[in-house]
Structure 1
Amino acid sequence: MNTKRIYLSAIALIVALSSIQISEAKMTKEAHALYQQACNYEYRSDYLSAISTIQKALAINGDDAMLYTKIAGLYSDVGRYEDALGAYKKAIKLRPNDAFIYISMGNILQTMGDYENAYNSFMQAQQIYPEYKYNYLNLANIEYFRKNYKNAIENYNTFLSAYPEHQEASENLANVYYASNEPEKACDIYANVYKKYPTAFKDFANYGMALYDTKQFQAASEMLEKAIEDNPDDEALLAKLALSYQNMDENDKALETFQKVFELNPKLVALKFDYANLLGNMDKNEEAIEQYKEYLTAFPDDADAYRNLGLVYKKLDNNDLALFNFEKSYSKDSSNIETKKELALCYHKKQDYVNALKYYDLALKTEPDNYELLANKALTLHAMNNYVASIEIYKSLLEKQPNERLQQNLTAASIAYGYDLLNKQDYGQAILYFEDAIDLNANEASAYFGFAQANEKMGCTDIALTNYEKAVSLAPGNREFNIALRDFKNAHKDTAASTAAEKPKPQVNEQAVTYDSLIKLGDEAYKQQKYTDAIDYYTKAVVFIPQDKVTMLKIANIYKLLGNNAKALSFYDKILTIDENSVDAYFNKGLVLASQKNYDESIKCFEKVIALSPDYPYAYYSLGMAYEQKDDSQKALEYYYLYAGIEKDEKMLNVVNQKIKQLEK
């Protein structure tokens, strides 16, 4: 706001109004002649002669208020404000109800920066002459200076209701809205004034600032450019212009303008954050790093600066420094989800999966449906061998949106978990996951190989042979697959002869054919996950050979798989009446009992397994888990240590070692 311009316009108005009352003043003829002479001096800007002449008039006619108001105005013209106030005070004693004297005093006090007394003078005038609308402009201006923006807005609006075309008041109202953090309203008024008075409009600076604050960057840059024409070295305007260019992606212009700002004021460190952002976006990475560091020296608690510095290091593939700065950012502001995402990715890249998972979970609290976050979390769980959780997420994501990479990962996780279950001798579950993998990718040899191994363990020799052959056909150069197929065929020849001798022979050939066909139908149904049909076929087959413990084990395991524990236990017990030393029956019975939280009975089963087969590793692990559930840490540790002594699989060793660490705390 131009205070001098406001003051002079008000003085001119007061002089005009005061002149109306000259004829009413009781002034002697001689004094009046001197008054007229002083006016002539004033007209010629000879203020000192005018003052001297009025002083002579006052010596003659010292009780005339008009002479005091005149000399007060002349004192104001030459900057003698205290003398002016003294003269006005004498005038007010003579004319105590003259509102315009109070207004004149208010303007001088405003010019002197004494806003409190200026306000009081304007209010005195308001009480005397409330109809005088121009005084609302005085009150609005003084409230603006006092930062009483609400009152300023009210007074400007009152004034403009009487004088809607008043440009200066409109601009001042816009300035107040901008100062009171209402840039949208400010922009509306600036736009109207600029439209009405395009050549007279001068407040380009505040208009440009308000446009910037409302994110109208193109219009802001145009206004700021005009403002800078009059103030080419105004660093605040140049800084805002640089930021406007930056937000418009006019990076070259922004760079040039930033550089000009820093030429004017190299110590303007607060702006270096935005400057560093610009340099980073322009791939001037080393310069950006230098600017971020300089900024952070002055503002060491700025989380955004650390994060953005981390992003530059990330672009440079410096994961360690990126991670360091993301951690610093997180320590300053733990609520920023972008920082959490970056930390998760850095730790993931570093193969620190525990911390990666931590930050993925933190980010997912804010964005629980973020596809990319969920996919990366699944990859992390996969890398941590938490196959069940990773598979669940992969499947959920693929239901929402097909993704070839995720489908490949789901296949790999299903196969890995299948082998994990195979190592744990949970053959029924292993078969399910290998089947899933085959459904996902019919050309994945390792899935067929695992499926064959699991079926061999379950006694499904026909299915096992078919899938060993399939694995070899898909990967003919795989030595392990070829050796396994050869060994299976050799073992199967010997076993077939001995099994045939042990099995009670059916009475007629038709029965043998029926038994074999039922077993084959049951195996096919099991492979297709038609478990009820498989049970039906296997049950009918057992009718022909009641001592067929292999088929009974298949039936029991399917019931276990389906969660029908009562039926599963019934068949495991039948097997044990046939063969009281069946390791598989005791072990699987123990698993069912443990799932029912009947830990004491399950422990007896696992102990029997170890008595029959001391090298059966998973029995030790299961005993450890059962005792852990019974809160018997000492016994649990004993069996976990025994398991660790015979287990060869590194993944399972990692699992059990984690359990040991937790129990030993």
Structure 2
Amino acid sequence: RDPGAAKVLIERAEARLAEYSSSGALLDLAKAISLDPDNADGYLVRSRARALNGDEAGAAADCRRAIELDPKRAGVCGGQVAGGERGLPPQPDRQQAKPQAPTPDIMATDDRLAAKALEAKDPRALEAVLGGDAFLDMGKYDEAIGAYDQVIALDANNRFGYFGRGRAWTAKRDYSRGIADYDKAIQLAPDFAAAYFRRGLAKVTTDDADGALADCDRAATLEPKARDAHYCRGMAWHAKGDAGRAIAAYSVAIGIDAKDDASYYARGMARADQKDYDGAIADFDEAIKLDPGNPDYAVARKATMAALAKIGGAPNAVGSKNLKAFIDRGDAFYDKGKYDRAIAEYSKAIALDPRKASAYVGRGTSLVEKGMYDAAINDFGKVIELYPSYLDAYIGRAVAWTNKNELDRAIADYSRVLAFKPQYAPAYFARGSVWFTKGNFDQAIADFDQALKFDPKMAPARKGRKLAMVARDEANASKMSGKAAGRAGEQATRPGWTSLAAQTFNKGRALYGKDDYDGAIALYDKAIAFFPAFHDAYLARAMSWEAKGDYAHAVADYSQAIALNPNFAETYYDRGQNRGSQGDYDGALADYDKAITLNTKDARVYADRGLIWMGRHEDAAALRDFERALSLDRKNLFAYLGRGVIRISKADYDGAIADLSQTIKLKPDFATAYKVRSRAWDAKGNHKRAEADRKKALRLGAK
């Protein structure tokens, strides 16, 4: 047992998962679990890796084991894959065919084809085998499985039917079915080297390193000149944690076929594990030269260079030290707002390494800041061309498209990010912001909701959602009026989205989302100067004042927004809240009354008005409002709180405790609810529970 080493392996697996590299992560996690079998994190991370790999059953089993070891993990099982520092990517997956460039099976010799013909008892079986092979090479795995099923139906002892179907299953990442078919093929032909090799690779993927090594050794014994048999041995030794023997096996594979990029890459991985970073970089360079379009190779090289830098070394690759220096200087100049100098440094890095993604992204981001959007789009596009799954490039390009007012293209790029990473809250927030700019408030709210689902603490998404709801309700109110004057009024209070006022307003919204309220207010000031009747700018500025706690300025801006559009309930509600915060309860009541006149279905307004009535000891009016709020929204915690307080005053202690417990259920850190509930427990004579609630309230900051 070695918990320390296990922790390192788990962290590296998480880094690999950040690059969507599940196979390498699975190797690390298998080793980590063998070193520390009681570490819940190992099983939890492996469940995510297996889910990413399509192994739902394995993911569920690991989830269950993680919960057994640590019941607190029950709430996170099945959640987002944890990210981290970028690490080395996984071993190449030889299980899966590449439809765009079919890789010939080096064991599929003329003798093999002759064997297929000789062994086929039915000509239709041979035809089906060849058809399945063709589908497999094209990446049409379901069609291939159908063809091999036909082979087996025609001849239940045809090893090539089981072998081909096993390859198709493993290409679909259904390794248990693949192994079962390889088992049958080997049962029918005990000297079938290719079946041993394929089964060995499948066993590596399912954490059976010992079984994999036995199969790979058998394949190499049967066919000593088979490159993939030795590659398989390397994979197995690597999975067992013996990088030295893995390197030796990969070297044999390279000696047999010096143009196999995957073997160089795998050997580089093993060398990196041995901290032979120079050797690893040399292997990655060779892999990149043989397959320039494979992003994993470049990522691996980058990670190895970073590891080398941490120990003060320098790779032998020409210019690599300068490359890092140029990028670091570019980053420093960018952070200082010196975009021209940043662009110059990033350009030097690109001259040294025309495939350096981070240099293009850095330069592209700097170009966006200078307003050179077309040039930025070209840089981001270059990265996407080289590395189609490089998410930062899509995000950067989306920002550039947004600034060019090509909003549909921006939405398309954010959607691509979400296709790669469906639980990435920042992309939902960004796409929601573009929907807002387009005036599609329902879509904006939906995206902000998704952002909050995956990151409940994302304040910009919460604020953006509020703005979108305000804008949507205002737009709906204007539509429902159906009056030309109303439509003209709407146009008169909102500039075109391509105008300077609107662009300045959007920049203000971006700063507001970053909690830079002073910066946002300054930009809203400018937007209003450009367009003095800009309703949404007054509204947004009021929200910024409110966030700063400057309720007087907030009330003034809400009042200006109301003057421009007096028929929007939400603005009265917001002004009422700010008036209440100033102690102007008469003004707050008047605003809540008006808001209810315009919208009778908003539970928040009834609850807030009820609290004011309660503060004035008008309990009957307060109770009516709390009841109305709860009839509209059973999750309104302030209505439960207020009703609970009134029930205490009426000696309905059980009812009060029920209401206050519901409040706490909805908001477990609500100190006031614990404090009030303690009074109900005291009144019932349960002083122990009352004391527990008082202590909890104090811990949460109650006075």
Question: Shared fold by TM > 0.5?
Answer: no
TM-score, normalised by the number of residues in structure 2: 0.29
- Higher alpha-carbon Rg: 1
| Structure number with higher relative contact order (C-alpha < 8 Å, ≥ 6 residues apart) | 2
TM-score, normalised by the number of residues in structure 1: 0.30
Which has more helix, going by share of residues?
1
